[in-house]
Amino acid sequence: MNNLDAFFVDFCQIFFSAWEEHLIFSGIKQRNKPSLLSVSEVMTIVIAFHQSGYRDFKTYYIHFVYFYLTN
């Protein structure tokens, strides 16, 4: 593994454990469906959005992600 891979793995382990500790539980059973995208795919889309010239995520998703990256 190179440094970027090791950093990403460390980040995910630390982030998800801290994130789960801060979730608010209401006592009502909530859905926890598995995502169709992996964490790295979601992060890639978010980073590309921030580097693009789009002002809002919905427009970016419709014009770029949905148009170019879906089958």
Count of domains forming the chain: 1
Task: Note the helical H segments in 22-63.
Answer: 39-51, 57-60
Q: Mean pLDDT, the chain, as a whole number?
A: 81
Asked if residue 2 is part of any domain, the answer here is: no
Let me know if residue 51 belongs to a domain.
Answer: yes
Pick 45 or 2 by higher pLDDT. Answer: 45
Asked if the structure places residue 68 within a domain, the reply is: yes
Contact 61, 37 (CB under 8 A): no
Q: Is the pLDDT of residue 26 over 70?
A: no
In a domain, 14, yes or no: no
Distance CA 50, CA 60 (A): 10
| pLDDT category of residue 58 using cuts at 50, 70 and 90 | very high
* Per-residue model confidence (pLDDT) at position 55: 92
Is residue 44 situated within a structural domain? yes
Q: Is residue 26 part of a domain?
A: no
pTM: 0.60
pLDDT digits (tens, 9 = 90+) for 9-25: 788 888 888 877 777 77
